[in-house]
Amino acid sequence: MTHVEQESLAKANTAKGTAVNAVPAGRRESAVMRFLRQWGTIIVLVVAAVGFSIASPYFATASNLNNILFSMIVSALVSMGLTWVVIAGSFDLSIGLTVTTSSILVAFLIPITGPWLAIVFALLAACLIGVVNGLLVTYGRLSGIVVTLGVMFVLDGINVFITGGYQVPVSYDETAFLYLGQGKLGIVGVPVIILVAVFIVALIAAARTRIGHYIAAVGDNPMAAFYSGINVYRWVILAFVLSALMSGIAGVIVTAISSSAQPVGGEGYLLEAFAAVFLGATVLGKGKPHLFGTLVGVFFLYMVDSGMNMVGFPFAARHIFQGLVLIVAVGANALLNREEVHLKFI
């Protein structure tokens, strides 16, 4: 125990004197509680996986794992993007529509510019959406919810406008581009490899560079960051750009997987992404969103989908289960780290 600790304890003890319920110097957490807080979500995930494996012989197979991974690619990319913005302390509701926009743009541009430039333009357009969101939230002084809600509607309009409401097909001759979505390296699909690569790069950026460090600082206590001489706005804008960029990558992959771009349907990723981010915040007991947790969160949602499908639950039951898991996991975490007064309802 350090000198300072001793002193403050001594102080607390003397002040207690006759005090019965004086505030203790520091709350001591029992080992069981700490273990549950760190591993609770993962334990639930493992238990569910074991349950499904017992109930269905097809669940715990390499090909099913591959299926789950393949189906979660787009959602995982979008959720990882959203993670940055939530870490930075804001919200991004435009991610789902950014997927659609980027998907349409790449399909639209392939015949004009060729696939590689089309991808570059689609990703640049996505980044531009992020810049607009970021600028409005910082210099524009608007709330993240309002800005990205507005941008979401605008993008939806643009998407339908440029496609006329019809899907945009990609020619089957574009084998190189379609390989990105449909190719395989051994048993593993190329999109899964792209997902893993993006995840690793993002993880390094988050854990080992100023990017992750400052976005986390800004999101936790912008005032402290401001007084430490950190350019707060720059990092908030960057978080929005990263979010949009990851949705953009997801859009390109969507087009490559289905050989076409759909004018609508991207908004479904949004709610899934929020569920994954908040579920992910409970992973490893961090209590705040992090990329690895988000990935676990997405995996959990898709694993449950697959497992319940195999066991024969109706589609509706899956959403009920996912919703309950989200509330219970986040709720249990909130119970485990109790603040003195809780007065935030967002």
Under rule CB under 8 A, residue 242 binds other proteins: no
Under rule CB under 8 A, residue 346 binds other proteins: no
Non-local CB neighbours of 255 within 8 Å, separated by 6+ positions: 103, 106, 107, 170, 181, 261
Under rule CB under 8 A, residue 226 binds other proteins: yes
Under rule CB under 8 A, residue 225 binds other proteins: yes
Q: Which is nearer to other proteins, 25 or 131 (CB)?
A: 25
Binding other proteins (rule: CB under 8 A), the pick from 55, 124, 224, 271 is: 224
Candidates 277, 268, 290, 292; CA nearest to 329 is 277
260-261 and 168-169 as β-strands: parallel, antiparallel, unpaired?
A: antiparallel
| Separation CA 143–CA 4 (nearest Å) | 41
Under rule CB under 8 A, residue 209 binds other proteins: yes
| Separation CA 78–CA 67 (nearest Å) | 18
* x/- map, 17-56, other proteins, by CB under 8 A: xxxxxxx-xx------------------------------
Applying CB under 8 A, the site for other proteins has a residue count of 39
Q: Which is nearer to other proteins, 192 or 237 (CB)?
A: 237
184-185 and 168-169 as β-strands: parallel, antiparallel, unpaired?
A: unpaired
Under rule CB under 8 A, residue 343 binds other proteins: no
| Separation CA 10–CA 69 (nearest Å) | 55
Binding other proteins (rule: CB under 8 A), the pick from 142, 213, 267, 328 is: 213
Binding other proteins (rule: CB under 8 A), the pick from 31, 112, 223, 346 is: 223
Handedness of CA 332, 334, 337, 342 (dihedral sign): negative
Q: Which is nearer to other proteins, 37 or 301 (CB)?
A: 37
| Separation CA 298–CA 77 (nearest Å) | 10
Contact 170, 272 (CB under 8 A): no
Non-local CB neighbours of 194 within 8 Å, separated by 6+ positions: 73, 180, 249, 253
**Both ends of the chain: CA-CA distance in Å?**
38
Q: For the CB of residue 110, give the shortest distance to other proteins in the complex, in Å.
A: 34
Under rule CB under 8 A, residue 201 binds other proteins: no
Q: Which is nearer to other proteins, 11 or 184 (CB)?
A: 11
User: What does the block give as tokens for 123?
Assistant: 């990703």
Binding other proteins (rule: CB under 8 A), the pick from 2, 164, 173, 312 is: 2
Candidates 117, 133, 86, 105; CA nearest to 241 is 133
| Separation CA 188–CA 70 (nearest Å) | 9
Under rule CB under 8 A, residue 210 binds other proteins: yes
Q: Which is nearer to other proteins, 213 or 318 (CB)?
A: 213
| Separation CA 181–CA 183 (nearest Å) | 6
Q: For the CB of residue 114, give the shortest distance to other proteins in the complex, in Å.
A: 33
Under rule CB under 8 A, residue 4 binds other proteins: yes
Binding segment (CB under 8 A) for other proteins, from list 97-105, 119-127, 213-221, 263-271? 213-221
Residue keyed to tokens 């898709």: 302
Under rule CB under 8 A, residue 208 binds other proteins: yes
β-partners of residue 213 are: none
Binding segment (CB under 8 A) for other proteins, from list 3-11, 118-126, 191-199, 247-255? 3-11
Residues 245-304 that bind other proteins (CB under 8 A): 287-288
Under rule CB under 8 A, residue 164 binds other proteins: no
| Cα 282 to chain centroid, rounded | 13
User: What does the block give as tokens for 303?
Assistant: 């694993």
Q: For the CB of residue 233, give the shortest distance to other proteins in the complex, in Å.
A: 12
Interface residues with other proteins (CB under 8 A)?
Answer: 2-5, 7-8, 10-12, 14-23, 25-26, 208-210, 213, 216-217, 220-221, 223-230, 287-288
